[in-house]
Amino acid sequence: MAETLVRFEGVRKTYGAGGPAAVQSLDLDIARGELLTLLGPSGSGKTTTLMMLAGFETPTEGRILLEGRDIAHTAPHRRGIGVVFQSYALFPHMTVAENVAFPLSVRGVGRAERDDRTRRALAMVRLDGFADRRPVQLSGGQQQRVALARAMVFEPPIVLLDEPLGALDKALREEMQLEIRHIHQRLGVTMMYVTHDQAEALTLSDRIAVFEGGRIRQCADPTMLYDRPADAFVAGFVGENNLLPGIVASRDGDEVSVRLRCGPVVTAQAADCGGTGEACLVAIRPERIAVADADASDLGERAQPATLLEAIFLGDHVRLRLAFDEGGEVLSKRPAGIGRLPAPGGPISIAWPEGAAVAFRDASTKV
Ligand code: ADP
Ligand code: MG
């Protein structure tokens, strides 16, 4: 087990009296050297969590430990934590090198060492030739690389990044995701990264804590999160999922038979769901739903009759909107260029492998 660098213990945060908690009873460990991402929709408490670790917000309850020490009474600048925000927050009147050197100047690091560390930090983010430029002479991506160099130049124990790529366009964002991942791998620096973008979280992270309503729903590595979501929220938020409402018709150990609201009865693995009569959501990943001509037998006896509503070509894959004959829609996804499809409105068979359907408790529905 890697050493714990940061520990949140029963941390709760309410802004003002009587309001709902922005963060509720948070327990979370960050290991030295890991890149942990806080992933969740807007307003789920990610920034509040980050700001409490940085020292810009104070927990209402609970403790935050950095290297085993309670940091409640340590001022932000004494925590020695690097922070990068979505807005670059570079000093416009300073050159790139002066911006990066700033945390070293504040700490009284001598000239020679300052220049040396600044040069290495700029090389790390591939801005060697940009030392004398001003921020306005840089693109958005370059400015954010300067911000990253500035956050890392004093070798902090942990770097916090709050939606640092949010202002960049898609191609640049994806390039920067890989760059941050490679810097993390090369230097082994501990990072806590905040994003609402699940693809970004999957790309970057050693582990992901999924936030919703101020709570962590699940904290796991990307594969685990995708393959074994703990609840319907995580199943729907990480990757795409069909979430079909229904009622448990019968339960046999870990397997349930569910009557979907749209008609069909399906068998599903019981992940986190109740017994007979309870409301549930059956999750099936679009890429696990196979389709074939209605008269083909290659899907086996599990095939369900359906109608192809629409096929959407997206270059590398095709998205198929399908309707069960008894009603209700599902999405299927498959590589482009394989097999033929009937025209929209035509009959089709759909099936998924045993185990691909997983039933979760449906907290939103009262039976
Ligand atoms: P996220 O970063 O996941 O979008 P935040 O941590 O910013 O979420 O916000 C969590 C909740 O706390 C939201 O309901 C938000 O409106 C509230 N909140 C955040 N900052 C403040 C503040 N300074 N004053 C009052 N409420 C706040
Ligand atoms: Mg935020």
Helix (H) or strand (E) holding 282: strand 279-284
Lookup: tokens for 225: 């999160």
The C-alpha atoms of residue 283 and residue 242 are separated, in whole angstroms, by 5
Do 218 and 274 lie in one domain? The reply is no
Distance 330 CA to ligand 1 centre (A): 34
108 assigned to some structural domain: yes
CA quadruple 352, 358, 361, 367: dihedral positive or negative?
A: positive
Dihedral angle, C-alpha 66, 68, 73, 76, nearest 10 °: -20
The C-alpha atoms of residue 46 and residue 38 are separated, in whole angstroms, by 6
- Residue 336: the pLDDT is 87
**73-91 confidence digits (pLDDT tens):** 899 988 989 999 988 789 9
Do 140 and 38 lie in one domain? The reply is yes
Distance 66 CA to ligand 2 centre (A): 22
- Residue 342: the pLDDT is 82
367 assigned to some structural domain: no
Which protein residue has the closest C-alpha to ligand 1 atom 21? 15
The C-alpha atoms of residue 282 and residue 264 are separated, in whole angstroms, by 12
Distance 214 CA to ligand 1 centre (A): 9
Looking at all shown ligands, the one closest to residue 14's CA atom is 1
The number of folded domains in the chain is 2
Do 224 and 246 lie in one domain? The reply is no
Nearest atom in ligand 1 to the alpha carbon of residue 15 is 25
The C-alpha atoms of residue 285 and residue 325 are separated, in whole angstroms, by 20
Q: Which of 202, 232, 262 is the last residue of a domain?
A: 232
Q: Are 246 and 336 in contact (CB under 8 A)?
A: no
121 assigned to some structural domain: yes
Do 227 and 285 lie in one domain? The reply is no
Q: Which of 232, 258, 288 is the last residue of a domain?
A: 232
CATH number, domain at 183?
Answer: 3.40.50.300
The C-alpha atoms of residue 162 and residue 148 are separated, in whole angstroms, by 11
CA distances from 253 to 193, 274, 276, 360 (A): 39, 11, 12, 14
Beta-bridged to residue 124, according to DSSP, are none
- Residue 295: the pLDDT is 66
**151-179 confidence digits (pLDDT tens):** 999 999 999 999 999 988 999 999 999 99
- Residue 367: the pLDDT is 46
Q: Is 42 in the pocket of ligand 1 (CB under 6 A)?
A: yes
Which protein residue has the closest C-alpha to ligand 1 atom 20? 48
- Residue 297: the pLDDT is 62
Query: Long-range pairs for 70-78 at CB < 8 Å and ≥24 separation?
Result: 77/106
Helix axes 96-106, 140-152, angle to 10 degrees: 20
Lookup: tokens for 278: 């309870």
Q: Which of 216, 232, 248 is the last residue of a domain?
A: 232
CATH number, domain at 330?
Answer: 2.40.50.140
Nearest atom in ligand 1 to the alpha carbon of residue 40 is 3
* Average pLDDT score over the chain: 93
Do 215 and 261 lie in one domain? The reply is no
- pLDDT tens digit at each of 367 positions of the chain: 689 999 999 999 999 877 889 999 999 999 999 999 999 999 999 999 999 999 999 999 999 999 999 999 899 988 989 999 988 789 999 999 999 999 999 999 999 999 999 999 999 999 999 999 999 999 988 999 999 999 999 999 999 999 999 988 999 999 999 999 999 999 999 999 999 999 999 999 999 999 999 999 999 999 999 999 999 999 999 999 999 999 999 999 999 999 999 888 999 999 888 889 999 999 999 999 999 876 666 667 778 889 999 999 999 999 999 999 888 899 999 998 877 788 889 899 999 998 999 999 998 765 4
Distance 248 CA to ligand 1 centre (A): 37
Do 206 and 282 lie in one domain? The reply is no
323 assigned to some structural domain: yes
The closest alpha carbon to 321, from 294, 351, 313, 330, belongs to: 330
Distance 46 CA to ligand 2 centre (A): 6
The structure's pTM equals: 0.92
Looking at all shown ligands, the one closest to residue 16's CA atom is 1
CA distances from 221 to 197, 206, 208, 302 (A): 16, 6, 6, 32
Do 62 and 124 lie in one domain? The reply is yes
366 assigned to some structural domain: no
DSSP labels, 136-154: GGS-HHHHHHHHHHHHHTT
Q: Which domain holds residue 255?
A: 240-361
With 0-12 / 13-18 / 19 or more C-beta atoms within 10 angstroms meaning exposed / middle / buried, residue 367 is exposed
The closest alpha carbon to 177, from 155, 157, 193, belongs to: 193
